[in-house]
Structure 1
Amino acid sequence: MTHQPQFAVVTDGGLDAFPDLRNGVPVAPFSLTFGTQNYRMDEITREWLFQELQRNPAHPTSSQPTPQDWAEAYRAAGAGGLPVLALTISAGLSGSRNAAEQALALVPGVDVTIHDTRTLSAAQAFQVHAAVTAAERGESLETALAWVRRTHEETELYFTIETLEYLRRGGRIGRVQATLGGLLNLKPVITVDKEAAIYTNVGRARSYKGAIEAVAAQVTARHGEGTPLRLGLLYGSVREDADALLAAIRARHPVVWSGFAGVNPVLNVHTGPRALGVAAAPGNWVWER
């Protein structure tokens, strides 16, 4: 049974999209700059980025979407005259939400609601999936926002990285470095703080293999051993890292859904090539209960 959607969904380049989730929405892309060269996220691949990080002496910087980028996404989504729900990466991590608000002046004919996901990556993907599911079912924008908020409340995002160097260079390290002190060879376990919606360190390990176990242990500590979970697994340059994390979590939890996504190039610039993460939430999706 098909329903008439009452709104459309857009998001930004903070999203790591999963093929098995409803993540196929217009995206306001972030961009990368290497020296004097600027690239939009939709123009580059992960493989290109990994090669460039090895051969290019310039350290890349990332830029939030411009108001024009957001306006294009709004127009694409609202082409049928529908209101638009825009889900942004956490305003604590990027100025994208600010650009999304500035873009409203560029699309006077489109009715836009902006919602800060207060997270990013796979956890943002879960919220986009909730919003698009609501739209496809003909639910109201209010119902979609309720599902998105509940999805946020129950979803935790944890990740680890091989080196803190990229977070440090990108100026994103703040509370993480403060917690780890000068021990830059330790592998941190990082989450997005639910209150402040910024990165904070919740664990550490001496080896990368230990860090994978530490991420799995955080998931169990948060959700309780034996709780059935949905898992959005993320990987940087080493796909097998995500398989190892899935196996570690499976040892303690039934997994009701799992999907894999490569960390997008703009986020990978901050983590460094070898990175691993997971968005974990309990049981079925909120609308399946």
Structure 2
Amino acid sequence: MNAGSAAPFTVVTDGGLDVYPTLLNDVPVAPFSVTFGSTSYRMTEITRETLYRELQTNPAHPTSAQPTPQDWLVALQTAGTPEVLAVTISAGLSGSHNAADQARQLLGPGGPRVTLHDSGTLSAAQAFQVHAAVTAAQRGLSVGQAQEWLRAVHQETELYFTIETLEYLRRGGRIGRVQATLGGLLNLKPVVTVDHATGTYTNVGRARSYRGAIQALTEQVTRRYGEGTPLRVALLFGDHPEDADQALALLTARHPVVWSDRTGVNPVLSVHVGPRALGVAAAPGAWPWDR
């Protein structure tokens, strides 16, 4: 469901978002792009399956690129409302927020009034914030009220992920070569989160096997919220959907899960984590506006 012209403002986001069918995530998107050698695809032009095949067969490692100011301009101009709330991937992880700011300046006096909001996160946790913003718009509330909800959702939501191999992070320059080599030799699988203060990745655990890392990831969720706390759980998977089943089963054994949904990691984010990955965004109980 789109924010629509009847709402006081439109929500727009970028390709850092992973979309959940049961959340209000159907909004205009400024897309990221993926480049293999001399061939570039917008994230809407390449399927996850094609990307995984390319990752495993193409000698050129892909690079990803943030939306350009022009990409943002197109997304902002589709709004059709006097105000736009643009929710971006963490500025600590991408220059998308800066590109959105440039686009805002290009709009000129005839364009909508644009408020930029740095989500401080990405993926499933960004999906929670987009859902909050669209909910506010649909209820006829102000951009200011929406931002209060966004901050509340960010504060209580944690995003954790693990990956089968460090190779794709190494190839993409996201971790040092030595660290990747050591991790590979010891067969260690990291558990990574997004630091709330910096909006950047930080390692919070590791395991000796991928299955062990899924277990460690879910235990991290329980440590954060306390066993027995009701949770909302958004699951992410790469080319093995059953990883999400395993994680949900582990969480359900320790928490009442009041809402859950799953989606595949989008093609651009998959460039960095590789084909096999698992992510969980978790938050306690009901949404802030339903309490």
TM-score tier by shorter-chain length is: over 0.9
Deviations 1:57-78 (A, max 9, x none): 100000000000000000012x
Contact between 2:183 and 2:189, CA under 8 Å: does it hold in 1?
no
Per-residue deviation, 1:54: 1.7
Contact between 1:85 and 1:112, CA under 8 Å: does it hold in 2?
yes
Contact between 1:3 and 1:136, CA under 8 Å: does it hold in 2?
no
Equivalent in 248, 251, 258 of residue 249 of structure 1? 251
Per-residue deviation, 1:105: 2.4
Find the counterpart in structure 1 of residue 168 from structure 2.
166
Q: d(CA) in 2 for partners of 1:4 and 1:288?
A: 22
For residues 132-147 of structure 1, the aligned pairs below 5 Å read 132-147=134-149
Task: Please state if 1:91 is matched with 2:91.
Answer: yes
Find the counterpart in structure 1 of residue 17 from structure 2.
15
Find the counterpart in structure 2 of residue 197 from structure 1.
199
Per-residue deviation, 1:270: 0.2
Q: d(CA) in 2 for partners of 1:183 and 1:44?
A: 30
Percent identity of equivalent pairs: 67
Per-residue deviation, 1:122: 0.1
Deviations 1:253-275 (A, max 9, x none): 00000000100000000001100
Find the counterpart in structure 1 of residue 30 from structure 2.
28
Equivalent in 253, 276, 285 of residue 274 of structure 1? 276
Find the counterpart in structure 2 of residue 113 from structure 1.
115
Q: d(CA) in 2 for partners of 1:3 and 1:237?
A: 37
Q: d(CA) in 2 for partners of 1:26 and 1:6?
A: 16
Find the counterpart in structure 1 of residue 66 from structure 2.
64
Per-residue deviation, 1:106: 2.2
Find the counterpart in structure 2 of residue 75 from structure 1.
77
Q: Secondary structure at the match of 2:182?
A: coil
Q: d(CA) in 2 for partners of 1:127 and 1:171?
A: 28
1:204 counterpart letter in structure 2: R
Where has structure 1 moved over 6 Å in runs of 4 or more?
Answer: none
For residues 121-270 of structure 1, the aligned pairs below 5 Å read 121-173=123-175, 182-184=182-184, 185-270=187-272
Q: Where does structure 1 lack aligned partners over 5 or more consecutive residues? A: none
When structure 1 is superposed on structure 2, of 154-163 and 53-62 the one drifting more is 53-62
2:126 counterpart letter in structure 1: Q
TM-score after normalising by structure 1: 0.95
Q: d(CA) in 2 for partners of 1:282 and 1:177?
A: 38
Per-residue deviation, 1:110: 1.9
Per-residue deviation, 1:97: 0.6
Find the counterpart in structure 2 of residue 41 from structure 1.
43
Cα gap change, 1:181/1:39 in structure 2, threshold over 3 Å: closer, same or farther? Answer: closer
Q: d(CA) in 1 for partners of 2:41 and 2:231?
A: 37
Deviations 1:69-126 (A, max 9, x none): 000000012x2x3200000000111111111111112212221000100000000000
Q: Where does structure 2 lack aligned partners over 5 or more consecutive residues? A: none
Contact between 1:11 and 1:87, CA under 8 Å: does it hold in 2?
yes
Contact between 1:3 and 1:138, CA under 8 Å: does it hold in 2?
no
Cα gap change, 1:72/1:43 in structure 2, threshold over 3 Å: closer, same or farther? Answer: same
Q: d(CA) in 2 for partners of 1:90 and 1:171?
A: 18
Q: d(CA) in 1 for partners of 2:181 and 2:204?
A: 14
Contact between 1:3 and 1:137, CA under 8 Å: does it hold in 2?
no
2:82 counterpart letter in structure 1: L
TM-score after normalising by structure 2: 0.94
1:247 counterpart letter in structure 2: A
When structure 1 is superposed on structure 2, of 60-69 and 101-110 the one drifting more is 101-110
Q: d(CA) in 2 for partners of 1:82 and 1:118?
A: 25
Contact between 1:232 and 1:260, CA under 8 Å: does it hold in 2?
yes
Contact between 1:186 and 1:204, CA under 8 Å: does it hold in 2?
yes
